């Protein structure tokens, strides 16, 4: 009898809790949606300006629905607010002031590093803006240097690199250049966090200046700069129309597939034996050829071992070739290896239309994504190649018919099949994540890791 009485009490209290939760949810749903003001959105953008993984905007913004017919208007509004949030950003002024006479400036970047940068243009600005080439110098790590800019080798390489870009290279069309100096010779790697943040912000600032075409940004480099361009291109390919490492090649561990959708050209001397560069370049040549044969439109590439050349090669071939290609910002297929770039838990926050903000990788873990998009259907496959990755990730939804259901298949199972209503919150969130006028995404589907 007492047992039955306890069960009745348990059921009664569970019912009360469920009713309370239901009422709370109902109250939230019935609460009138108060549209976010322009100033609120601008304040949010300013609050996350230095965050590599920005915090999400307020919940209320996600409840602010948008009719499909109004998506374009709202995207333009949100982008304009992003621009207003960066009014007064000195880096925007730096790019806006570019001309044929180079401008040298110094940027404060994370970890109290300072990056010296030279900016200049060649030719008359095209209607959609200049192609921007970020060109990285060689040299590298000099742990015994007495200060951050005290390595004579890095200083000489910076000057040589600038001279090549400013005087020697013949691009065949108007271009803009960003030529940075290594911020700290005692660390000496272009792909460490301060530089990653600096390059992403540089691209954002260049686009905000109005002088640069966001779909024509290229990353190139020589020797240590070649390694930097290779690794950064693997890590953040969605920002570049093309990547061109020169006199640099290293081991492949599944990363070549990250170059789907990004034009890729590598030039290495066939006698550049130090650190296995020529051998690794040969492996890249075979790997990219195999990928191109299977998917010729997705893996546009050239990998050349220059005959009779050692570490010094002809550097003039890469940039004119890269300039033929334009960025894909919402490709039909993404293949991407999600991994720790530098052994310091450095994972990407997102790529193309994938958001990784809520993934939870164990140290040293890596995960392979294969995402295909066809109309309103998305097919997602993930495969852990090392360790364990938990949490969730999201698909930012665009280039679909919002009047019809969206279908998402994940690892062979249909996990979502429903209509999605565009909303302000996702537009604000995706703009904060990417800072890209082409990626103001109107909706998303969140997927829990399997």
| Cα 281 versus chain centre, distance | 25
Q: Which residues pair with 104 in a beta bridge?
A: 118
pLDDT at 30: 60
* 263-269 and 301-306 strand pairing: parallel
Q: How confident is the model at residue 13, as a pLDDT? A: 42
In percent, the amount of the chain with pLDDT more than 70 equals 93
Structure tokens at 442: 């109107």
Confidence class for position 52, pLDDT limits 50, 70, 90: confident
User: What percent of the chain stands above pLDDT 90?
Assistant: 91
Q: Residue 34: phi, psi to the nearest 5?
A: -100, 110
Q: Which of 68, 69, 57 is nearest to 431 (CA)?
A: 57
The whole-number average pLDDT for the span 274-303 is: 98
Domains of the chain (ranges plus CATH)? 35-85+329-450 (no CATH), 97-322 (3.40.50.1820)
The four Cα atoms 50, 54, 60, 65 give a dihedral, to 10 degrees, of: 110
CA–CA dist 396, 408 (Å, integer)? 12
The sheet with strand 406-410 has its strands ordered as 333-339, 366-374, 377-386, 406-410, 413-418
Contacts of 139 (CB under 8 A, 6+ apart): 151, 153, 154, 156, 157, 158, 182, 185, 188, 223, 224
The reported pLDDT for the residue numbered 266 is 99
d(CA 55, CA 206): 24
Q: Is a pLDDT exceeding 50 seen at residue 17?
A: no
Mean pLDDT for 199-227 is: 98
Give the N- to C-terminal CA distance of the chain in Å, as an integer: 45
Query: How far is the C-alpha of 401 from the C-alpha of 40, rounded, in Å?
Result: 30
Confidence of residue 29 (pLDDT cuts 50, 70, 90): low
Cβ atoms within 10 Å, residue 106: 12
| pLDDT above 60 (res 437) | yes
pLDDT score of 203 more than 50: yes
Query: Looking at residue 24, what is its pLDDT?
Result: 42
Structural tokens at position 326: 């334009």
- In this structure, the number of other CB atoms found within 10 A of the CB of residue 415 comes to 15
d(CA 78, CA 97): 25
Question: Which token pair is 312?
Answer: 């010094």
Q: At what angle do helices 152-163 and 224-235 cross, to 10 degrees?
A: 70
333 closest CA partner among 374, 363, 367: 374
What local confidence, expressed as pLDDT, does residue 165 receive?
98
CA distance 450 to 444: 18
Question: Is the separation of the CB atoms in 145 and 179 below 8 Å?
Answer: no
Q: How many helices (H) and strands (E) does the chain have?
A: 11, 18
pLDDT at 110 over 70: yes
d(CA 443, CA 395): 9
Q: Does pLDDT of 251 surpass 50? A: yes
Q: What is the DSSP-derived secondary structure letter of residue 70?
A: G
Q: What is the DSSP code (8-state) at residue 186?
A: T
Q: CA-CA distance, 305 to 178, in Å (whole number)? A: 27
Q: What's the pLDDT at 104?
A: 98
pLDDT score of 51: 84
444 alpha carbon, distance to own chain's centre: 18
Q: Rounded to whole angstroms, how far apart are CA atoms 170 and 69?
A: 45
The residue count of the chain comes to: 450
Model confidence band, residue 49 (pLDDT cutoffs 50, 70, 90) = confident
Q: What is the average per-residue pLDDT within 262-288?
A: 98
Task: Return the sign of the alpha-carbon dihedral for residues 125, 126, 129, 132.
Answer: negative
pLDDT at 424 over 50: yes
pLDDT at 4 over 80: no
Q: What is the pLDDT of residues 115-155, one digit of tens each?
A: 999 999 999 999 999 999 999 999 999 999 999 999 999 99
Question: Mean pLDDT over residues 64-87, rounded?
Answer: 98
Mean pLDDT of the chain: 94
Q: How confident is the model at residue 32 (pLDDT cuts 50, 70, 90)?
A: confident
Whether residue 28 is predicted with pLDDT greater than 70 in this model: the reply is no
Rounded to whole angstroms, the Cα distance separating 112 from 181 reads 15
SS3 content of the chain, % helix, strand, coil (to 5): 35, 25, 40
Dist. CA 38–CA 77, nearest whole Å: 9
């Amino acid at each position: 009898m007492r047992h039955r009485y306890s069960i009745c009490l348990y059921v009664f209290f569970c019912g009360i809790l469920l009713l309370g939760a239901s009422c709370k949810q109902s109250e939230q749903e019935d609460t009138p949606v108060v549209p976010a003001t322009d100033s609120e959105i601008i304040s949010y953008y300013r609050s996350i300006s230095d965050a590599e993984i920005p915090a999400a905007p307020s919940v209320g913004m996600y409840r602010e629905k948008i009719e499909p017919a109004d998506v374009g208007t709202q995207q333009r509004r949100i982008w304009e607010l992003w621009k207003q949030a960066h009014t007064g950003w000195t880096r925007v002024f730096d790019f806006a002031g570019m001309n044929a006479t180079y401008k040298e400036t110094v940027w404060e970047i994370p970890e109290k590093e300072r990056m010296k940068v030279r900016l200049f243009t060649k030719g008359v600005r095209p209607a959609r803006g200049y192609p921007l080439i970020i060109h990285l110098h060689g040299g590298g790590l000099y742990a015994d240097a007495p200060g951050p800019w005290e390595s004579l080798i890095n200083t000489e390489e910076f000057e040589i690199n600038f001279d090549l870009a400013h005087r020697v290279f013949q691009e065949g069309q108007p271009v803009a250049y960003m030529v940075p100096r290594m911020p700290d010779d005692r660390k000496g790697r272009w792909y460490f966090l301060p530089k990653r943040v600096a390059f992403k912000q540089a691209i954002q600032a260049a686009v905000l200046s109005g002088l640069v075409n966001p779909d024509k940004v290229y990353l190139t480099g020589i020797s240590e700069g070649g390694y930097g361009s290779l690794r950064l291109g693997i890590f953040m390919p969605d920002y570049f129309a093309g990547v061109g490492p020169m006199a640099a090649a290293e081991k492949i561990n599944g990363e070549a597939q990250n170059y789907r959708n990004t034009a890729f050209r590598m030039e290495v001397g066939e006698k550049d034996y130090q650190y296995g560069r020529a051998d690794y370049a040969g492996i890249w040549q075979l790997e990219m050829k195999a990928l191109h044969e299977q998917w010729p439109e997705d893996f546009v590439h050239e990998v050349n071992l220059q005959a009779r050349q050692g570490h010094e090669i002809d550097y003039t071939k890469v940039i004119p070739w890269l300039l033929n290609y334009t960025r894909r910002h919402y490709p039909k297929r993404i293949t991407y290896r999600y991994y720790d770039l530098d052994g310091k838990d450095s994972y990407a926050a997102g790529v193309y239309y994938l958001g990784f903000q809520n993934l939870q990788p164990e140290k040293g873990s890596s995960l392979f994504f294969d995402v295909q998009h066809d109309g309103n259907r998305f097919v997602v496959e993930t495969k852990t190649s090392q360790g364990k990755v938990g949490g969730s990730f999201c698909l930012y939804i665009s280039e679909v018919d919002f009047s019809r259901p969206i279908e998402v298949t994940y690892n062979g199972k249909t996990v979502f099949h429903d209509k999605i209503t565009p909303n302000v919150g996702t537009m604000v969130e995706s703009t904060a994540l990417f800072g890209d006028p082409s990626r103001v995404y109107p909706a998303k589907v969140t997927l829990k890791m399997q």
